[in-house]
A and B are shown apart, each in its own frame.
Chain A
Amino acid sequence: MSGTLTIFKRELRSYFSTPVAYVFIVIFLLLSGAFTFYLGNFYERGQADLQAFFTFHPWLYLFLVPAVSMRLWAEERKSGTIELLLTLPITMWQAVFGKFLAAWAFIAIALVLTFPIWLTVNYLGSPDNGVIFASYLGSLLMAGAFLAIGSCLSASTRNQVVAFILTVVICFLLLLAGYPLVLDAIRAIAGQGLADAVSGLSFLTHFASISKGVIDLRDLVYFVLMIGVWLYATAVVIDIKKAA
């Protein structure tokens, strides 16, 4: 069994041996439900799709994903187990990737548990299930990008609260970068070119395009690159701390 898989299994199991997992899943389901029905006017829209559900995922993740990622490395550093982990015969990359995958799988589980809403919309009408599937995929990828950012910031501090706040701020900026209000302002000041560049950096832009049911390679590459770069940065940060 490879090092990544061993780390992955240990991490994922540890989520469920503490209340963290259950609290997170319950809150995630409650909030996603509340957003869909109250803010998204799921019924009133009278359309058989899940747009009301997915529109709020970026904002839901903004606070919930950093709550998962903040403990990834900060807790290991605080409790000293990082010393145990990094003196076991695994590479830095296996540790970083194994921990990330476990957190991602955990969020995937929470996301899968929203399936009743998919069933509901199919019961009420005949939605385009292809679009819904693509939206789920986009949502998962976006959660992965949030997590990778959180992983890097968690590695840079031993304080989980600091890790949480920094992650929220950076993710918030990356969300804002795709907001029409912000983009209009940039366009007015600096022109279309920069506005496009900023919008290309945003989670919102790429998530919105996948949510339309078009799985464009560019959007996939964006999220995979985002995850890769931030995980690489995680390993670099840990290495720097090792030599500091």
Chain B
Amino acid sequence: MIETRQLTKRYGNFTAVDAISFKVEPGQVLGFLGPNGAGKSTTMKMVAGFLSPTSGGATVAGYDVERQPLEAKRVLGYLPEGAPSYGEMTVREFIDFVADVRRIDDSVRDKRIDDAIARLHLERVLEQPIDTLSKGFKRRVGLAGAILHDPKVLILDEPTDGLDPNQKQEVRTLINSMARDKTIIISTHLLEEVHAVCTRAIIIAGGRVLADATPTELEARSRYHKAVSLTATNLQEAKDALARVADIASIEVDPQDNRITAFPKPGRSIFVAVGDALKAQNVSVRELALEPGRLDEVFRTITQGAGKEART
């Protein structure tokens, strides 16, 4: 479990993290979202015990990170931003070093090391100096170091940054496979990642929590939530047909591909009505879809709204 209470970090007059409180339970994967400089990494650094908070505090698995740092660090696996590791070491030397520092018991040591190597597909590069590896491999070496001791709590700062789509998918599968009994926080810029791995998302901007909800709940805040999109062979016919549906509040047409999006009046459902109207008018439709809501739009609305507020 991870808990922060009024966690605050100030640099001079600048407040990087402003009284952030949250609680993550085992089995949850919390996604940290926010623009660059929002305070995501600073928050993670404080929970991991690398930075001391100006005020407030954090506990990891019940241990206060400031007062019981060793106990907290023992149960924690942390991947810092940019996945730094000692470049002159080979991958095997680095993993051995982490196993030594973490004092992994000899009875499980080999198994844990083999397991981490296999999970992150590092077999081919074991004897290579880390400096000579690609960005994707470096990130996976860092991840292997973070999960080596099978920690109860994982904090991963942009775990999929710099990976190709296949590798991203693999890391997401890895996180999902570990999610059941662990408490995990990841930060990411990729909204599709929130859907793929997170059970909960916190949106941060300007050091403050602006939203804390499940990905589905966040999508429901989108104006696209429950909207209907379609592409018709004849644009005008389709528009005329849609004009007959009473519950539609507005219609937008994408000038690039003539895709029509119909927005419902608040609390109304229009998918069936739109389908019926199109059929009744014999409008031929190439594609018809119910929109679940767009996370990127929600993200923009929330974070830019906060930006304006801060400026005034």
Which residues of A line the B interface, CB within 8 A? 1, 3, 6-7, 9-10, 13-14, 17-18, 79-81, 83-84, 86-91, 242-244
Task: Please tell me which one of the listed residues A3, A80, A91, A244 contacts residue B84 in the complex, with CB atoms under 8 A apart.
Answer: A80
List residues of B (63-117) whose CB comes within 8 Å of A's CBs.
Answer: 70, 73-74, 76, 78, 80-82, 84-89, 93, 97-98, 100-103
**Given A6-B97, A89-B101, A242-B51, A84:B80 Cβ within 8 A:** yes
Shortest CB distance B148–A (Å): 11
In the bound complex, how far is the Cα of B155 from the Cα of A84, in angstroms? 12
What A residues does B78 contact at CB under 8 A? 84, 87
Whether B70 and A84, one on each chain, are in contact in the complex, defined by CB atoms closer than 8 angstroms, is: no
Shortest CB distance A244–B (Å): 7
Q: Judge if B14 is at the interface, Cβ distance under 8 Å.
A: no
Whether A88 and B84, one on each chain, are in contact in the complex, defined by CB atoms closer than 8 angstroms, is: no
In the bound complex, how far is the Cα of B78 from the Cα of A24, in angstroms? 35
Shortest CB distance B30–A (Å): 18
Q: Judge if B45 is at the interface, Cβ distance under 8 Å.
A: yes
Given A79-B84, A84-B84, A87-B78, 20 new contacts (CB under 8 A): A6-B97, A6-B100, A7-B101, A10-B89, A10-B97, A18-B88, A80-B80, A81-B85, A83-B45, A83-B81, A84-B80, A84-B145, A86-B49, A87-B50, A87-B76, A88-B98, A89-B73, A89-B103, A91-B70, A242-B50
20 of the cross-chain contacts (CB-CB < 8 Å) are A3-B101, A10-B97, A13-B89, A13-B93, A14-B86, A17-B88, A17-B89, A17-B129, A79-B84, A79-B87, A80-B82, A81-B86, A83-B50, A84-B84, A87-B50, A87-B80, A88-B98, A89-B74, A242-B50, A244-B11
Whether B51 and A10, one on each chain, are in contact in the complex, defined by CB atoms closer than 8 angstroms, is: no
Whether A6 and B73, one on each chain, are in contact in the complex, defined by CB atoms closer than 8 angstroms, is: no
Which residues of B line the A interface, CB within 8 A? 11, 45, 48-52, 70, 73-74, 76, 78, 80-82, 84-89, 93, 97-98, 100-103, 129, 142, 145
Shortest CB distance A104–B (Å): 20
Task: Please tell me which one of the listed residues B70, B84, B86 contacts residue A10 in the complex, with CB atoms under 8 A apart.
Answer: B86
Shortest CB distance A117–B (Å): 32
What A residues does B85 contact at CB under 8 A? 81, 84
Q: Kindly report which residue of chain B lies nearest to residue A90, judged by CB atoms.
A: B101
Shortest CB distance B144–A (Å): 13
